[in-house]
Amino acid sequence: MLHDLASLVTNAAVPGLDTAGAVIAHGSSALAIGDGLLQRAYAAGLVDVDATAVVQFAFFLLLALVLPKLIFDPLLERFEQREARTEGARAGARRMRREADNQVAAFDRAMSDEKQRAMAERQAARMQAQREAAETIAKVRRETHARIAVGIEALRAQAAKAKVDLDQEARQIASQIVRKLIEGRS
């Protein structure tokens, strides 16, 4: 752009300057300000061409070269840093959210596994209690049947003894009756 502007400007004398033109250098390009461009602007009534126009243009170029380095570049760098920090914070938040989701899923899996284990343990305990209850009931039944059998045997023995005793007593009573009958007839 500077090269195109420089090609429009001729190297003629500027009113108010002793030299043929003013040259402002920036790097490898040079911008020559001549009276051709200024004369056209003056003829159109846009600019009052005197030495202050050249000074103002020099200040403009100086500011155009200095301001980016002093203000704009650091400001843009700050904006980029802030954006990087913001994106970093967002990425960190997304990462933390994924970790939290993973931890919740792991917790849910652990709870489910623990519930299944507890249910299996409870079922095993119930089965064990039922087996023990069945064994206890069977043992009590055996003992009860044994006691009943012993009781029945004892009752049978008592009944047999009572029968023997009653038979003897009946014989004795019968012999007494027969004796009394015989004595009573005699």
pLDDT, tens digit, 9 for 90 and up, residues 130-178: 999 999 999 999 999 999 999 999 999 888 888 898 889 888 998 888 8
Rounded Cα gap, residues 161 and 5, in angstroms: 149
Residue 13 carries which DSSP code?
P
In a domain, 164, yes or no: no
Residue 63 CA neighbour count, 13 Å, CB half: 6
Asked, for residue 159, whether it belongs to a domain, the answer is: no
The number of distinct structural domains making up the chain is: 1
Range of the domain at 24: 2-86
Q: Find the helix or strand (DSSP H, E) in which 163 lies.
A: helix 73-185
Cα dihedral 88→92→95→99 (10° resolution): 170
Check the CA dihedral 177-179-180-184 and report its sign.
positive
Closest CA to 176 of 160, 186, 184: 184
Which residue in the block uniquely carries the two structure tokens 């933390």? Answer: 96
Where do we find the tokens 């027969």? Answer: 178
Whether 73 is covered by a domain: the verdict is yes
Query: For residue 168, is it within any domain?
Result: no
Calculate the dihedral angle through the C-alpha atoms of 87, 90, 95, 98, rounding to the nearest 10 degrees.
Answer: -140
pLDDT of 24 = 40
Which residues are bridge partners to 22 per DSSP? 33
Query: What local confidence, expressed as pLDDT, does residue 178 receive?
Result: 86
Q: Classify residue 172: in a domain, yes or no.
A: no
pLDDT on residue 16: 42
Residue 43: the pLDDT is: 66
Length of the chain, please? 186
